[in-house]
Amino acid sequence: ATANVLGQFAYTPDIGTQLAAGSGQAISVTFTPTSPNYNPTVATVSINVLKADPVIAWNNPADIPFDTPLGATQLNATSNTDGTFVYTPPAATVLARGNSQLLSVDFTPAFPGNFNNASASVAINVVKANPVIIWNAQANAQFPYTLGADRLNATVVDDLPGAFVYTPAEG
């Protein structure tokens, strides 16, 4: 506020007050002139305070191997205000192998009167996984020994389809 004479301004609410979102909020000022020739006066204006858009921070997660369920390491968005994150796809989902797969989040603020809902997306790469081979330690063999199926008996976790190629080969 300004005046055409010297004096002091007192604002209601005080300078630095953070207003909640809403329309037609009254802000008033009382002006007390320094000169005794003027009366104190009050002026009031209204202000519309719009809801804020939350800021969501979420970087593209590191590549994960196939068969890795999504978890907190990938679904780790943050916001500049409190609220709830809902991820698509949700935690524990196992994605197919492929690059630039979309992960999305919908954010609902804890204070919906002051903040809008928000959304964000990132991309994740799901790369080939390394199968886990189970092959028990072999007992000593007596020379001369010919390798056979009794020694070449590795298996793979989860019974993945595929073929083993042994070096040296059977026989």
pTM: 0.75
Please calculate the CA angle 119-120-122 and round it to the nearest 5 degrees. Answer: 155
* Residue range 86-121, pLDDT digits in tens: 999 999 999 999 999 999 999 999 999 999 999 999
Let me know if 111 is exposed, middle or buried by CB neighbors in 10 A (0-12, 13-18, 19+): middle
